[in-house]
A and B are shown apart, each in its own frame.
Chain A
């Protein structure tokens, strides 16, 4: 399995996109990961599930606009250069 750095960038973009498209009410609430069900504990050690929900929500919030730009750039580049 020979990796180039370009493959790494592609993987990163695809993974971030995958996290960003998880829809709140259509999907996450159905599997018990909705925004109302997750972060309840204010102890000093939130569990794994709370951490995952935090991560998903923060990726969605932070990376929404940069992802739009990066995806558009990717689309243009792939159209031009294959």
Chain B
């Protein structure tokens, strides 16, 4: 492994060095050291509203600011309530999805994001598409550029919504309801695509290690292509839109086929004695190709009304 360690040691220092101003010690993340990114953003915003505004860093020092014992008691009560609320939220969320697994997908750094964006837009020169493993668990996106992450899809989704609002505003067709409609349409299409993929993988008993989050990540990568297409459509008119659509479709199709080929299509040596396996590789290939072909269709569907 020839990973430049100096690259993300700097990132780690940055993450540790920036004190969370405004967040008190109550919301400190006690996750394992493997994922350096703190997830305070998950529940800090919700609770910062209810907190008294005097909460600085270091909850111990807060009490010294109040001379009034009633205010003291109120602050203690409020902080214990916040703790209880945080525990409850944690418990409820961890019933539906494992938060640690989610943290793995957000453990990214700048170098990874830049490389991944370049691969998404120009995947033809990327040589090695294998996801590297480290002692039987997949490596975090910080260490392996082929690992799927959820940071890029999330940011791209939000950027797409903002861009859609801007495009509609340029054409004087904007209203807040359309923005919400655009956002929920895109979200629903992702949900549909992930559900169809999960269903088809289940029906064909593909024993891959593609979890739901992986599929969400791979489905969300198309938003990068969508943003690029809409930008070109806005800047260069209708011709630019179609050229950018063709380019990002080809790039995305190549990317999806190469990425999913490793995970879905079987390695022939590990297959059993060929019980009906003559149909299997074909069906698995169909799934991969169908996923890839679906991407340009949905890109066109979701962006054509923005670039009239």
Contacts and interface: CB of A to CB of B under 8 A. Distances in A.
Contact of A43 (B184, B191, B203, B275): B275
A8 interface: yes
Contacts of A45: 205, 272, 275-277, 280
A2 B185 contact: yes
Contact of B203 (A2, A7, A48): A48
Assign chain B's interface to a size class: 10 to 19
A76 B21 CA distance: 49
B147 to A, nearest CB: 28
B93 interface: no
A7 B188 contact: yes
Contacts of A2: 181, 185
Assign chain A's interface to a size class: 10 to 19
Interface in B249-308: 272, 275-277, 280, 283, 301
Contacts of B191: 8
A69 interface: no
B212 to A, nearest CB: 16
B202 interface: yes
Contacts of A1: 185, 301
A48 B202 CA distance: 9
The main secondary structure of chain A at its interface with chain B is loop
Nearest to B301: A1
A5 interface: yes
A24 B297 CA distance: 38
Contacts of A52: 203
A3 B205 contact: no
A52 B204 CA distance: 10
B50 to A, nearest CB: 27
Contacts of B283: 48
A47 B189 contact: no
A68 B205 CA distance: 30
Contacts of A70: none
B256 to A, nearest CB: 23
Given A45-B280, A47-B276, A3 B202 contact: no
Interface string B172-203: 00000000010011011101100000000011
Contacts of B204: 48, 51
Contacts of B202: 51, 55
A46 B275 CA distance: 10
Interface of A: 1-5, 7-8, 43-48, 51-52, 55
Interface of B: 181, 184-185, 187-189, 191-192, 202-205, 272, 275-277, 280, 283, 301
24 contacts: A1-B185, A1-B301, A2-B181, A2-B185, A3-B188, A4-B181, A4-B184, A4-B185, A5-B187, A7-B188, A8-B188, A8-B192, A43-B272, A44-B272, A45-B272, A45-B275, A45-B276, A45-B280, A46-B205, A47-B276, A48-B203, A48-B283, A51-B202, A51-B204
